Chains A and B, each alone.
Chain A
């Protein structure tokens, strides 16, 4: 087995230039894998999977009553990113997150960018992620998006694009850390000498970012992670991050507003919390302000937040910047606030709310990927070329019914990586989600979550849609 039968086909391959020639950065990896005794690669793959199961590194799948808990499929062949390319990615992400934060702050204050007609007013007003309750809010240091996960993809020609921004509660970083740990345990001989940049410092970086948020100067503010609970699909990650940071993992029912503070119910009475890394959506944060039927949040939380007696990461309202039709304006947003050209380009995007673009989308559904502007996790999307005519007709109906809710993009020929499947090495499409922290400065974790569409030919990499992941190796200079 191994690579002698591997085909890169008509796609950009992250590991090979052609069927048999590895890229410069992947040379050592390819050699080491080739040097493994027969059957060893498969044995290591099986060992990694059983480790994941034993460690209970799982996620929950909605709409699946039979087995609500699954391991996130993991592939042992790492994805390699060379130092020079990473340097460019890091610069591009910092630029993007910096500008998006300025955008959010502007939108909830003067809305200069709207008055200057760079972003159309109707898009903001009609965005369901725009929170009028947040107008005029001043989060500490005017930072709104403390934790961002940006999805990058590479097209057939090798060009990287930003596919979407996730500025609400991006998940997946726990898999980055766990994948690395599993990799070191199952494949030490491949790992050593590869000069891979470590990812272990993420939890302490995250903790510092969170601590830097508490508005009142204070020695060690009390930080907690707020989770919707054990049935949330990312529950494992919430508990993992709390454990790695050494902070409390709380649920809404553990918290209560008392005397203008958010307090935790403890065995020794009520104790205050200063910073919440909340992993629940704005909608559910506070039933007195947002959805009244929410049982996950804390009544009175927003009032305390507004008074500066509590910090929230991310700030409520950041969702306005990852609305997928706002995404289309990010190149202009960057130019408007920074006077710079965008470094990592956007995928060309048709906004269905614009009548001309709508007509083009409806006429070309068989070539386009359509996405609902506020959905994530691979829900609410249509991959035109792979869809049945009935599905396309159904989507055409939905788009025309509510054009503001959809955007469309050309179908990219996503790059591929080799994965172990049924005893063979085959090519599958991937994306990359790096994580960015914005506290006293902007930090990009060297690596990120490489998600793989495990179904042959599939372009949807989300874990909820049958995707898996790989360790991502950013090489040192």
Chain B
């Protein structure tokens, strides 16, 4: 497969997953804010912080109000990671690999792009933001289902899967981090019903609440961390995502799992081993936020490894291809 094509497929799925997760972020915050006791101010700055796009926000917006933040994260075409921009980038990438992906997949990407653009032009977002976010999640799920059911499960599909899973691992870690940034009214509120309500909102935003209940029952922060970070069966848990990404990575290269022949395999293998031998007490005692932060840095290194290994092929003396995508 052409390196450029593999790169586009990888980013196509990353952008689609990213759009879905931005919708989930906003959704979790909306839910949490609705549950705050009256008299307290809504907190929207944290969403900007975890998105990693603070500079862009400060340049063009005065205050992190609910309206500004939602606009910035959902529909701002100048924010490269807004939902709208993600859909646009996903579609541009799909357009460059239209001959490789199935027609059905292309039509799915194209149609959802048209839907989201139309929504962006209308007043939906102000009056009923959930409508748009539900639409975005549905589009992303449909996209995943169409890819699964219509693409050859060969190299291209594995790039698709790897991109999707690495992106999801990163975003689940950020979703969990929202809770760290949202301040409770006072320290003594830790462990109160309000705290529980917020944790439940985090789970719900990861479509995880019901599955969590089956596994652990009561809302206990350590159990939630265990579920979203270490669970081997929940498809949005970080460990699950990295396992799937690793499987696809090795399917692409043909290297046996458990060994490595390139920087991507080495870094992802190390990260997986670390998770495999970590327990929740260690995560909590080190500090959840610090743990997640370090994890995100290591995920970036894996992504760099993927780029160097598969996309940046250059012959002697020629110029380097652009780092497309991100």
Residues in A whose Cβ lies below 8 Å from that of B107 = 54-56
Tell me whether B289 is interfacial, beta carbon within 8 Å: no
Q: Is A43 an interface residue (CB 8 A)?
A: no
Residue B284 at the chain A interface, CB threshold 8 Å: no
Contact with B along A234-245 (1 / 0, CB 8 A): 011001101100
Determine if A283 is an interface residue (Cβ-Cβ < 8 Å): no
Q: Does A264 contact B (CB under 8 A)?
A: yes
B155: chain A residues at CB < 8 Å are 267
- Whether A266 touches B1, Cβ cut-off 8 Å, given contacts A56-B107, A56-B110, A253-B321, is yes
| A23: min CB distance to chain B, Å | 36
State whether B114 touches A266 (Cβ < 8 A). no
B312 nearest CB across to chain A (Å): 9
| B1 touches which of A230, A236, A267 (Cβ 8 Å) | A267
Min CB–CB distance B59 → chain A (angstroms): 24
Q: B233 at the A/B interface (Cβ < 8 Å)?
A: no
Complex: chain B residue closest to A238, CB-CB: B99
Which chain B residue has the least Cβ–Cβ distance from A264?
B2
A320 at interface by CB-CB < 8 Å: no
Contact A267 B315 (CB under 8 A): no
- Is B272 an interface residue, CB under 8 A from the partner? no
A249 touches B99 (CB 8 A): yes
A250 and B2 in contact (CB under 8 A), knowing A54-B110, A269-B313?
yes
Contact with A along B67-93 (1 / 0, CB 8 A): 000000000000000000000000010
Contact B110 A265 (CB under 8 A): no
**Complex Cα spacing A268 to B99, Å:** 20
B18 to chain A minimum Cβ distance, whole angstroms, is: 21
Contact B99 A239 (CB under 8 A): yes
- Tell me, rounded to whole Å, the shortest Cβ–Cβ distance linking A43 to chain B: 20
Interface residues of B in 193-248 (CB under 8 A from A): none
Q: Is B96 an interface residue (CB 8 A)?
A: yes
- In residues 199-245 of chain A, which contact B (Cβ within 8 Å)? 229-230, 235-236, 239-240, 242-243
User: Closest chain A residue to B106 by CB distance?
Assistant: A56
Instruction: From B106, B252, B315, give the contact of A258 (CB < 8 A).
Output: B315
A254 lies within 8 A of B95 (CB): no
- Residue B4 lies at the interface, judged by CB distance under 8 Å to chain A: yes
Q: Which residues of B contact A230 (CB under 8 A)?
A: 92, 95-96
Task: Enumerate chain B residues within 8 angstroms of A75, measured Cβ to Cβ.
Answer: none
Q: At the interface, yes or no: B6 with Cβ under 8 Å from chain A?
A: yes
Asked whether, in the complex, the Cβ of B96 is within 8 Å of the Cβ of A265, the reply is no
1/0 per residue, CB under 8 A from B, across A250-263: the answer is 11011010100001
Q: CB-CB < 8 A to A269: which residues of B?
A: 313
Q: Does A88 contact B (CB under 8 A)?
A: no
User: Any chain A CB within 8 A of the CB of B310?
Assistant: yes
Q: Is A270 an interface residue (CB 8 A)?
A: yes
Contacts of B4 in A (CB 8 A): 251, 253-254, 265
Q: How many angstroms between the C-alpha atoms of A240 and B100 in the bound complex?
A: 10
Q: Once bound together, how far apart are the Cα atoms of A264 and B99, in whole Å?
A: 16
CA–CA, A251 to B99, complex, Å? 13
Q: Which of B291-326 contact A (CB under 8 A)?
A: 310-311, 313-315, 318, 321
How does the 8 Å CB contact mask read for B95-109 relative to A, with 1 for contact and 0 for none? Answer: 110111001001100
B315 touches A270 (CB 8 A): yes
**Complex: how many Å from CA A249 to CA B311?**
16
Specify which chain B residues have a CB less than 8 angstroms from the CB of A250 in the assembled complex. 2
A53 within 8 A of B: yes
Q: How far is the CA of A240 from the CA of B106 in the complex (A)?
A: 12
The reply to whether A267 and B95 form a contact with Cβ atoms under 8 Å apart is no
Q: How far is the CA of A254 from the CA of B98 in the complex (A)?
A: 16
Please report the C-alpha to C-alpha distance between residue A248 and residue B100 in the assembled complex, in whole angstroms: 8
In chain A, what residue has the closest Cβ to B99? A243
Contacting residues, chain B, for A258 (C-beta < 8 A): 315
Q: Does B313 lie within 8 Å of A239, measured CB to CB?
A: no
B111 within 8 A of A: yes
Closest CB of chain B to A398's CB: distance in Å? 37
Which A residues are CB-close (under 8 A) to B106?
55-56
Q: Give Cα A253–Cα B107 distance, bound, in whole angstroms.
A: 27
Contact check, A239 vs B98: say whether CB atoms are below 8 A apart: yes
- Cα-based distance from A111 to B253 in the complex (angstroms): 54
B270 within 8 A of A: no
A266 engages B2 (CB within 8 Å): yes
A248 contacts across to B, CB distance below 8 A: 2, 5
The distance in angstroms between the C-alpha atoms of A267 and B264, with both chains bound, is 13
**Whole-angstrom distance between the alpha carbons of A263 and B3 in the complex?**
12
Q: Mark B1-40, 1 if CB is under 8 A from A, else 0.
A: 1111110000000000000000000000000000000000
Residues of A contacting B311 with CB < 8 Å? 267
Scan A48-66; emit 1 where CB is below 8 A from any B CB, else 0. Answer: 0000011110000000000
Task: Give Cα distance in the complex from A240 to B159, angstroms.
Answer: 22
- Kindly list chain A residues whose C-beta atoms are within 8 Å of the C-beta of B92: 230
Q: How far is the CA of A222 from the CA of B197 in the complex (A)?
A: 60
With the chains together, A265 CA to B30 CA distance in Å? 46
Asked whether A267 lies within 8 Å of B99 as measured between CB atoms, the reply is no
Nearest-neighbour CB distance to chain B for A61, whole angstroms, equals: 16
**Do A242 and B2 touch (CB < 8 A)?**
no
Q: A54-B107, A55-B110, A56-B106 are contacts. A265–B95 as well, Cβ < 8 Å?
A: no
Which chain B residue lies CB-closest to A257? Answer: B315
Tell whether, in the assembled complex, residue B315 and residue A54 are in contact, meaning their CB atoms are under 8 Å apart: no
A245 to chain B: closest CB distance in Å?
Answer: 9
Residues of B91-141 whose CB lies within 8 A of A: 92, 95-96, 98-100, 103, 106-107, 110-111, 114
Q: Is A256's CB under 8 angstroms from B111's CB?
A: no
- List chain A residues, Cβ under 8 A from B321: 253, 265
Nearest B residue to A246, CB-CB: B99
Instruction: Indicate if the CB atoms of B318 and A256 lie closer than 8 Å.
Output: yes
Contact call A267/B114, Cβ cutoff below 8 A: no
Minimum CB–CB distance from A63 to chain B (whole Å) comes to 21
Bound together, the chains give a CA A254 to CA B315 distance in angstroms of 11
Q: What is the bound-complex CA distance between A256 and B98, given in angstroms? A: 23
Which residue of A has the minimal Cβ distance to B314? A265
> CA–CA, A353 to B4, complex, Å?
47
Q: Is A54 a contact of B3 with CB atoms below 8 Å?
A: no
Cβ contact within 8 Å between B3 and A266: yes
Query: By the criterion CB–CB under 8 Å, are A242 and B252 in contact?
Result: no
CB distance from A228 to the nearest CB of B (A): 12
* 9 contacting pairs across A/B (C-beta < 8 A): A54-B107, A56-B110, A236-B98, A242-B99, A248-B5, A256-B315, A265-B313, A266-B2, A267-B1
Sorted nearest first, the 8 A-B pairs with minimum C-beta distance are A243-B99, A242-B99, A56-B110, A239-B98, A239-B99, A267-B310, A265-B3, A265-B313
Give chain A's interface residues, CB within 8 Å of chain B: 53-56, 229-230, 235-236, 239-240, 242-243, 248-251, 253-254, 256, 258, 263-270
Apart from A235-B95, A240-B99, list 8 A-B contacts with CB within 8 A.
A55-B103, A243-B103, A256-B315, A265-B3, A265-B321, A266-B2, A267-B2, A267-B155
